[in-house]
Amino acid sequence: MAIALLITTLGFATLIFVQEAKSPPLIYGAYYAGTMVALYLGVRLWLPHADALLLAVVTLLTGVGLVMIYRLTYDVSGRENLATTQAGWILVGTAALVLTALLFKNYHRLFNYKYLLAAVAVGLIASTIFFGYEVNGAQLWLKVGPVNFQPSEFARIALIIFFAGYLADTRDLLAATSRTILGVQVPALKYFGPVAFVWAASLGLLVFEKDLGSSLLFFAVPLLMLYVATGRIAYVILGALLFAAGSLTTYYLFDHVQVRVQTWLDPWSDPNGTGYQVLQSLFSIADGGITGTGLGEGFSQAIPEVQTDFIFSAVASELGLLGSTALLLAFLVFVYRGIKISLLAADDASKLLAFGLTSMFAIQTLIIVGGVTKAIPLTGITLPFVSYGGSSVVGNFILTGLLLVVSENAGRRAAEEAAPEFVEGEAA
Amino acid sequence: MNTQLRRTFYLFAAGFVALVGVMAYWQVYAREDLTNHPSNGLQSQRSQETPRGLIFAGDGETVLARSERAGGNEYERIYPEGEVFANVVGYWSNRFGASGIEIGQNNNLSGTGEPETLDELLNQFSGGPETGNNVTLTVDPELQREAYNQLAQSNTGRGAVAAFDPQTGETLALATYPSYDPNVVIDEGFEEISNEPNNPLLNRATQVTYPPGSTFKVITAAAALEAGVRPTDRFNDDGTYETPGYSFGNYRGKAYGNVTFAEALVFSINTVFAQIAVDRVGPEKLAAMAREFGFGYEYEDYPLYVAPSDLGLPPEEWAEGNTAPISFGQDRVVSNVFEMGLVASAIANDGDMMQPRLVREVRSSDGIILDRPTPRPLNEALPEGTARTLNEMMQGVVEEGELVAAQIQGTKVAGKTGTAENPQGEPHSWFISFAPADDPEIAVAVVVENGGVIGEDGAAETPALTIAGNLMRAYLDRPAPAPPSTQPNLPAGVPGGGPGEVLDPAQRPAQPSAPDQPGAPVDPFAPFRNAAPQQQQQSQPGQPPASQQQPLQPVPRPQDEGPG
């Protein structure tokens, strides 16, 4: 942990130094650094058994994000303040994390309200259909007072809590089914129904709201949770088939999906139209080479929406293959620790919760990085912690907070089990 | 449950590894393809946002091009010397492309080349500013300006000058007129300038080729010397040279009678050169000698595009009717001042042609020398002895031919005139020379397009001769020769001392070029004096060489402008 703290501090030093070189409002950097260190210390005190390395990674990711956002927008008129806004959102996120840790230290209470949470989640997503407004072709935004936010960022977490609670209760029933249809074992509708319903509802809503990235997440995460809960690879196969069918259907039903896929397959056919964004992204990435152009020397500002969905391209451009690989490794460390928390957790619900949150984080990263590098079709989704976007940052801080409390729980249990053997040692 | 957890983690990890693989593909494997993709505007954007290096003239002080912040992150290029250096420095425009040194040395100027110093390497890693390197040219700014002004004041106002240091190959001047202001070109003036009828974007010193006329005789003479002809060998000129189907005459129809080879060069006797080329040298050896001097060579190491000089048909296809006019630089022979200046340089430098150079040194923005090419020979065009002999013969051209405009007091000058017929109108006026002939410091080639205006007495004007003389004097900082006879009006030979006047031979008592002028008291060529020694003689005034075998007159072939 001391090493983690050292890394964090070192990371800060580097980040602040780099920011200083670009003459940003240093005071915000200081605030940010202070907040994160305070958060780290607070978590160490309040959740002494939690995996605080997560916070080190979060600090690194948000730090890189802040630097990149600042670098990409400080000289763009109308967007000069995005970095400070983002710093503000990080503050809010930190508060949300602290609140999560305080309120839900005993997170098992949450599972008692799982149906309510599911309803809230679906309601949140549905709300944008009626009250939301459209940005970049997707109707994802909700205006509450002065704040615009993307309810789906929070709905995801609520849904994962629901799935975790529900699957923990019914996993034996779901796994132990004997009925088969067409050679595939199918669980009793009674048990599977609620899962399928919530799943379908959220998916359908998202598809209609044209938020492909989120719908992919909503599809994949519960599917993986189901697999982990039941150990049935059949669910995954079934899900994959469903996914294929769904993809084909949406491809033929919706123009915007067709455009996305065709752009992915051949962006060169319309380099100044539909292919522009992903081509600029690729040009920027290629421009970086192995070592990158250096911070501030790249031209990724040419990419539309670079500070949100395409921030990874900017990182790759300016920090090169080495920098982008390091960033991916940081994400992988987060995922690794998340899975580890899940492994150590005592009960099924905790395991599933930690796993669900972690896999959402992982899949989200894979989808967007794959998208901007043209490995898979591009879907608009943020890079956790790095991209600009209040809802995303706050949502991910809450996610981290939940992981921390699960981790705390698991850690305390492990400590209690181990404690008797070390009583003397601790006394000495 | 933990088994599944581990499996999914492996899945995620595999996903991340795959992404690193994808990144490696784009950033390493496919990088070059993407960088050079036509839709990729990043490179030109980068070039706009990076200050390019300075370009200095040969004195290391005169700034020829610099970058100034134009607003925002963008820089724009300023060319303080404007038209005078435009053909050398060129322009750099995001919209209209680039030319000259700006493109020829772009790797250095843009700083996009491989890192050369530790600082640059560190900058590349840290992303610090990669400013361009500074390039210092070899061009002498005074001489360049003088050459430009002289051309501007010549009788037709179209021409080119190339001056080299024969011993190092450094380009001392490379001027063309008319020229253009690169500041205007990059500031939306490109269209207008490129549509001007006299084509100012064309670098007449390197991109255009003209028939070299009698200046080519030095190459024929070199081939003849190598073939065993001695300067004292005598030849008979009856005024015409007959080949199957054609006969060639001398300038103004003169017949010189019995002359030595040296005298034939002095008086530029076409018929004698035709005889020697056909009977003593032959097409193969003549063509080989021209190649030794750089004909057909593209000078790819030179940072500017150089249109290769050309002899027309391959030598094995030359009939006598080709060989004869080729020997005095007509037929389809074409060249430019760049090439002919190097021919003069090679003769001056005892037969060794040095690699022509335009860049003296390249320094990083903080002054570290990155490149300073040393003089190196390009080709041994002639053995030393032959070159010395030819050098003396060319001195004879200036002295015995009494080319006073090119003479320098106390300094031996070697040279050769040319009046090249062409289908575009009046003959081109040529002069190639070097001085001091015994220890050459400068070699000059000048062409004035259609400048050889034929006067009423049949004599052509010789603006190129005057320009070359003035430039050599300016460079060597030496006075014009003392008047050999009575010359009250002789301009002092000081550069600018009236170089712009149209040089009608009849108005220049200094030059006993008019046929009815008996000449100077001391006259080693007395037998021929009454036969009117001339600065230049040209062929076949009455015999247009239109025929099946010679369907084409030598045609100057302007290349499309733009970086090569």
| CA atoms of B241 and B312, how far apart (whole Å) | 21
What pLDDT score does A396 carry? Answer: 92
pLDDT at A35: 80
> Among A173-177, A410-414, A415-419, B29-33, which is the least confidently predicted range?
A173-177
What would the pLDDT profile of A105-157 be if each residue is shown by its tens digit? 888 888 888 888 888 888 887 777 776 666 655 555 666 655 667 787 888 88
Kindly indicate whether the ipTM for this predicted assembly is greater than 0.95, answering yes or no. Answer: no
Judged by a CB distance cut-off of 8 A, whether residue B36 touches chain A is no
| Chain A contact set for B34 (CB, 8 A) | 282-283, 286-287
The vertex-B451 CA angle with B447 and B453, nearest 5°, equals 150
Question: Would you state the pLDDT for residue B355?
Answer: 94
Per-residue model confidence (pLDDT) at position B557: 40
Is B214 annotated as catalytic? Answer: yes
Distance from CA of A325 to the nearest CA of B (A): 6
Torsions phi, psi for B163 (to 5 deg): -130, 135
Of B1, B16, B28, nearest to A331 by CB-CB distance is B16
Kindly report the backbone phi and psi dihedral angles of residue B354, in degrees, each rounded to the nearest multiple of 5, phi listed first. -85, 155
Residues A392/A92, Cβ–Cβ less than 8 Å:
no
CB contact B28 to A (< 8 Å): yes
Q: Residues 170..199 of B with a Cβ closer than 8 Å to A: which?
A: none
CA atoms in the 13 A half-sphere facing the CB of A79? 15
- pLDDT the model gives residue B526: 38
Residue among A293, A321, A348 minimizing CB distance to B23: A321
Separation CA B59–CA B449 (nearest Å): 30
Residues near B351 by beta carbon (within 8 Å), at least 6 away in sequence = B380, B381, B382, B383, B384, B386, B387
Largest CA distance in chain A: 73
pLDDT at position A224 over 80: yes
Distance CA B210, CA A309 (A): 61
Write out chain B residues lying below 8 Å of A279, CB-based: 39
Sequence-distant (6+) residues with CB within 8 A of A113 are none
Domain housing A74: 2-413
Please indicate if any CB of chain A lies within 8 Å of the CB of B23.
yes
Cβ neighbours of B39 in A, within 8 Å = 268, 271-272, 279, 283
Q: Which residue in the set A288, A299, A339 is minimally distant from B5, CB to CB?
A: A339
pLDDT tens readout for residues A310-369: 889 988 888 888 888 988 998 999 999 999 899 888 888 889 999 999 999 999 999 999
Q: What pLDDT is recorded for position A424?
A: 43
Q: Is residue A336 one of the residues assigned to a domain?
A: yes
- Of the residues A335, A348, A352, the best mutation for testing chain B's interface (the one with the most B CB atoms within 10 Å of its CB) is A335
**Which site among B6, B7, B10, B19 would you substitute to test the A interface, given the most A Cβ atoms closer than 10 Å to its Cβ?**
B19
Among B47, B214, B335, B365, which one carries the catalytic annotation?
Answer: B214
Task: Note whether A335 and A362 are within 8 A (CB).
Answer: yes
In SS3 terms, B255-268 reads as CCEEEEHHHHHHCC
The predicted pLDDT at position B82 comes to: 87
Structure tokens at B92: 């750099």
pLDDT tens, chain B, 564 aa long: 788 888 889 999 999 999 999 998 988 888 877 777 767 767 667 666 778 889 999 888 889 988 887 766 678 888 998 899 999 998 887 777 788 898 888 878 876 655 555 665 555 555 445 678 899 999 999 999 999 999 999 888 899 999 999 999 999 999 998 999 988 877 777 888 888 888 888 899 999 999 999 999 999 999 999 999 999 999 988 888 888 878 888 877 788 889 999 999 999 998 999 999 998 998 999 999 999 999 999 998 899 999 999 998 898 888 888 898 999 998 889 999 999 999 999 999 999 999 999 999 998 887 888 888 889 999 999 999 999 999 999 999 998 888 888 888 889 999 999 999 888 889 999 999 998 999 999 999 999 999 988 888 778 888 999 999 999 999 998 766 755 544 334 333 333 333 333 333 333 333 333 333 333 334 444 333 333 333 333 333 333 333 333 333 333 444 333 333
CA-to-CA dists, residue A91 to A13, A26, A37, A327, angstroms: 19, 16, 12, 22
DSSP state of B277: I
Instruction: Kindly identify which residue of chain A lies nearest to residue B4, measuring between CA atoms.
Output: A228
Contact A153/B at CB under 8 A: no
b/e B229-267 (16+ beta carbons within 10 angstroms → b): bebebebebebbbebeebbbbbbbebebeebbbbbbbbb
Sign of the C-alpha dihedral computed for residues A105, A107, A112 and A118 taken in this order = positive
Q: Which of B34, B543, B90, B93 is nearest to B325 (CA)?
A: B543
DSSP string, B396-457: HHHHTTT-GGG-BTTB--EEEEEEEEETTEEEEEEEEEEESTTS--EEEEEEETT---B-TT
pLDDT at B262: 92
Tokens 């335009």 correspond to what residue?
B358
CB pairs under 8 A between A and B: 129
Residue B176's pLDDT is: 94
Cα→Cα distances A386→A381, A392, B422, Å: 12, 9, 72
Per the CB < 8 Å rule, is B42 touching A373? Answer: no
Question: Is the CB of residue B325 less than 8 Å from the CB of residue B554?
Answer: no
Q: Chain A contacts of B126, Cβ < 8 Å?
A: 294
pLDDT value of residue A77: 65
Which residues numbered 219-258 in A keep a CB inside 8 Å of some CB on B? 224, 227-229, 231
Characterize the bridge pairing of strands B55-56 and B134-137. parallel
Q: Any bridge partners for residue A185, and if so which? A: A180
Q: Which two tokens stand for residue A160?
A: 């994962």
Helix (H) or strand (E) holding B362, with range, is: strand B359-363
Chain A residues 59-88 with a CB less than 8 Å from chain B: 75
Class of domain B144-529: alpha beta
Length reported for chain B: 564
Spatial separation of the C-alpha atoms in residues B319 and A162, rounded to whole Å: 99
pLDDT category at A215 given cuts 50, 70, 90 is confident
Domain count, chain A: 1
Give the tokens for residue B137. 């040219």
Task: For residue B480, give the nearest of B408, B413, B402, B415 by alpha carbon.
Answer: B408
Say whether residue B492 is in contact with chain A using an 8 A CB cutoff: no
**Residue A425 included in any domain:** no
Contacts from B541-546 at CB under 8 Å and sequence distance 24+?
B541/B249, B541/B251, B541/B252, B541/B253, B542/B249, B542/B253, B543/B246, B543/B247, B543/B248, B543/B249, B545/B246, B545/B321, B545/B325, B545/B330, B545/B331
Nearest partner of A227 among B16, B1, B15, B14, judged by Cα:
B1
The whole-number pLDDT of residue A15 equals 52
Here the tokens at position A111 are: 């599972």
CA distance A337 to B365: 49
Query: How far apart, in whole angstroms, are the C-alpha atoms of residue B209 and residue B226?
Result: 27
* Better pLDDT: A168 or A80: A168
Distances (CA, A) of B126 to A64, A146, B90, B134, B227: 16, 41, 32, 22, 64
- Label residue B381 exposed, middle or buried (CB < 10 Å: 0-12, 13-18, 19+): buried
Which of A219, A207, A216, A218 has its CA nearest to residue A139?
A: A207
Chain B residues within 8 A of A271 when measuring between CB atoms: 39
Query: In angstroms, rounded to a whole number, what is the distance separating the alpha carbons of residues B463 and A279?
Result: 59
Spatial separation of the C-alpha atoms in residues B188 and B182, rounded to whole Å: 10
Residue numbers in B near A288 (CB within 8 A): 27
